[in-house]
A and B are shown apart, each in its own frame.
Chain A
Amino acid sequence: MESPHSTNFLDVHELIERSQPRPRVAWFAYAAGIFLLVVVASALVNARVPGAKGVVDLFSKLAMVGIIVGMSMLMHFVVRRQREEMRQVEALEELVQLRRWPDAALLVRGMLSTPTRTPQARAQAMIFLASILARYHRFEDAIAVHNHLLDSISFDEATAHGIRLGRAMAMLREDHLVDADRAISELRRTSQGRPSAGLALVELYRDVKTGHPTEAIEHFHESLPLFQKQLGHRTGDAYALLAKAYDMRGKETHAAAAYEKATHLTAVSELNRRYPEVVSLSAKYAAAPLPPELRTTTAGAAA
């Protein structure tokens, strides 16, 4: 069976091609043309065959009502199909939020395997596709999706910032350090000084990844209030990277404290999946213990 880890399962280039929305049929222009045709034809017939006036009048009125009813039905059908598509996008968003990755992968494949009804739905589905690919550690594919989105679609600033963040993180994970550095510079330039916890997290990861623990620790302390405000429980990610930075500097007491905080907010398995650099910490430092009420469930932050 195909797995989301396999490139055959979510073939990015194929999905990008196949999901292009079909050009819209100009139904309104057709209807206007038919309407005009009916008016001209009825006027002509009335002028040339005065005896058929009653029949022509009735026919032209029925034709006009038919056009109105037809257009209304068509509009209703189109709107209903678009709503169905938006519902699918919302379902996809929920699956990604709930981290039900296999279901999300299946749904996004289904959505992007055929032309979407609107470019907006396609763009949103592609953004989720990039997240799913990153979850399955297919970072090259995720970067390809991010590049396609940024090159071909004009997004609002906040959305573009989110996509650039995802791309920079994927580049770091794939060890494209020069590209990542360029992407981070672009993020700094485009965010125009607006505080971004996502950018601070990417920079923190870059510092850890490139062996600059002192800078990482500085970055963390500068950005902690921002992490708390904007990232919520993902602040655990920042604490895990802080623990790694302390560990690299040989400050084991501080590393242990930061790791305890990280695992209080985020499960060890999630941290290890997101940042392979922190895997070694789980053998060295104790994770925050789960209370007994949560030990039997899959919920809770600590593993």
Chain B
Amino acid sequence: MMPAHSAISRFRRDLTLGTILNALLLAGVFVCTLLGGAFSSPAGDMIMLMLLIVIWMTLGYHSMKNSRIAANSPSLIASGQFDLAEYQIEKSLKNFSIFRTSKLLSLHHLAVLRHAQRRWADAAELCNALLRQRLGSLTGLARQSRLILADALLELGDLNGSYQAINDLYQHRLTLAEALGLLHVQLDYQWRVNAWEQMLAGLGNKVEMAELMSTPNGARSQALLALAAQRTAREELAGWLRRRVELLVDVSELTAARPVLKELWPGPSAASPASAEAGDEAQRATTSELD
């Protein structure tokens, strides 16, 4: 497994090398075209120019192949194939590329992978390294990195850092997926600072957005909203949200990840209403219901 700091130093070295090489190639073209007379051979400058073009095209071809290797990793991460994703990202980071964007994307993919592996410190370090770069047209990358950073810092208990990352995201126009991610992270931040009323502001939209999230994220967001409702004495709302969560996930897993949610399901052990219900109903189905 590639440590974050070595990935970052390799990334920086390759960026510097890439910049120098691109500058040299450009300078070469300039010398051949405008100062062509400097060559003693009449065809020397032309040959030199062709050589530079061939070098640039070869490097570009290899860099493009490298970009393709890395492009597949997000789907591998999403499907939980972390080892294969790790292999591809590492390969892409270790190969030289004259394209800056290819290197930036590889580092971003590594941050996404570390976040999925719950290696919060590495994910935060990689995102910070990426955000210090000039990202140009890759503004989407900056937004996604900030989201990962905010979540990783929350997990590490750095509330100030997380607040800063969340706040920065408000300066950007987000896609729907990013807005869903932001809501998920923001609710997780707000309960830690007891911002119960703020959590419930624009409740209708938040519930609607939670419905569009993946099951675990949607359930956790609604559970946190239920907690906010309970803390602000909105019992009916809290009960409604709690019931939805129970219909979606195993509550014991949810409370294991966020012990604060045990307030919603008090008892000796946070039983799993969803699983218990599934089991009960299955039992009913095989006995009295289906005969």
A residues contacting B by CB (< 8 A) are 39, 42, 46, 53, 57, 60-62, 64-65, 68, 90, 93-94, 97-98, 214, 217-218, 220-222, 224-225, 228-233, 235, 239, 246, 249, 251, 254, 261, 264-265, 288, 290-294, 296-301
Q: How many residues does chain B have at the interface if contact means C-beta atoms less than 8 Å apart? A: 45
A254 touches B29 (CB 8 A): no
Which residues of the other chain, B, contact A217 by a CB distance below 8 angstroms? 285, 289-290
A225 touches B278 (CB 8 A): yes
A299 touches B218 (CB 8 A): no
A218 touches B285 (CB 8 A): yes
B211 to chain A: closest residue by CB: A233
A299 touches B278 (CB 8 A): no
Which residues of the other chain, B, contact A246 by a CB distance below 8 angstroms? 289
B203 touches A294 (CB 8 A): yes
Complex Cα gap A298–B203 (Å): 11
- With contacts A225-B275, A299-B208 taken as known, whether A61 is within 8 angstroms of B36 at the C-beta atoms is yes
- With contacts A233-B218, A254-B289 taken as known, whether A290 is within 8 angstroms of B211 at the C-beta atoms is no
From the candidates A57, A68, A94, A239, name the one contacting B176 in the complex (CB within 8 A). Answer: A94
B209 to chain A: closest residue by CB: A299
Query: B71 at interface (Cβ–Cβ under 8 A)?
Result: no
- With contacts A39-B46, A97-B212 taken as known, whether A294 is within 8 angstroms of B278 at the C-beta atoms is no
Q: Which B36-57 residues have C-beta < 8 A from chain A?
A: 36, 42, 45-46, 49, 53
Complex Cα gap A230–B248 (Å): 10
How distant is B177 from chain A, measured CB to nearest CB, in Å? 8
- With contacts A61-B45, A217-B290, A221-B281 taken as known, whether A232 is within 8 angstroms of B213 at the C-beta atoms is yes
A232 touches B248 (CB 8 A): yes
Complex Cα gap A42–B49 (Å): 14
From the candidates B175, B234, B248, name the one contacting A233 in the complex (CB within 8 A). Answer: B248
A301 touches B211 (CB 8 A): yes
Complex Cα gap A220–B290 (Å): 12
Q: List 15 A-B contacts (CB under 8 A).
A: A39-B46, A42-B46, A93-B176, A97-B212, A98-B212, A218-B285, A224-B282, A228-B249, A232-B215, A233-B211, A239-B247, A254-B289, A292-B237, A294-B204, A299-B205
Query: B214 at interface (Cβ–Cβ under 8 A)?
Result: yes
Complex Cα gap A222–B289 (Å): 14
Which residues of the other chain, A, contact B213 by a CB distance below 8 angstroms? 232
B284 to chain A: closest residue by CB: A254
How distant is B121 from chain A, measured CB to nearest CB, in Å? 29
Which residues of the other chain, A, contact B214 by a CB distance below 8 angstroms? 232
Closest 9 CB pairs of A and B: A297-B204, A299-B204, A299-B208, A221-B282, A291-B237, A232-B215, A94-B176, A61-B33, A224-B278
Query: B170 at interface (Cβ–Cβ under 8 A)?
Result: no
B204 touches A298 (CB 8 A): yes
B215 touches A228 (CB 8 A): yes
Complex Cα gap A261–B277 (Å): 11
Which residues of the other chain, A, contact B168 by a CB distance below 8 angstroms? none
B290 touches A214 (CB 8 A): yes
B237 touches A265 (CB 8 A): no
A65 touches B29 (CB 8 A): yes
Query: B183 at interface (Cβ–Cβ under 8 A)?
Result: no
Complex Cα gap A57–B247 (Å): 77
Query: B236 at interface (Cβ–Cβ under 8 A)?
Result: yes
Which residues of the other chain, A, contact B12 by a CB distance below 8 angstroms? none
Q: Which B158-211 residues have C-beta < 8 A from chain A?
A: 175-176, 200, 203-208, 211
A301 touches B234 (CB 8 A): no
Complex Cα gap A229–B249 (Å): 8
Which residues of the other chain, B, contact A290 by a CB distance below 8 angstroms? 240
How distant is B223 from chain A, measured CB to nearest CB, in Å? 14
Which residues of the other chain, A, contact B205 by a CB distance below 8 angstroms? 297, 299
B235 to chain A: closest residue by CB: A291
Query: B10 at interface (Cβ–Cβ under 8 A)?
Result: no
- Give B215-243 as 1s and 0s: 1 = Cβ < 8 Å from A's Cβ atoms: 10010000000000100001011011001
A235 touches B278 (CB 8 A): no
B236 touches A291 (CB 8 A): yes
- With contacts A228-B215, A233-B248 taken as known, whether A300 is within 8 angstroms of B176 at the C-beta atoms is no
Complex Cα gap A232–B245 (Å): 10
- Give B252-291 as 1s and 0s: 1 = Cβ < 8 Å from A's Cβ atoms: 0000000000000000000000110010011011100110
B176 touches A62 (CB 8 A): no
A218 touches B290 (CB 8 A): yes
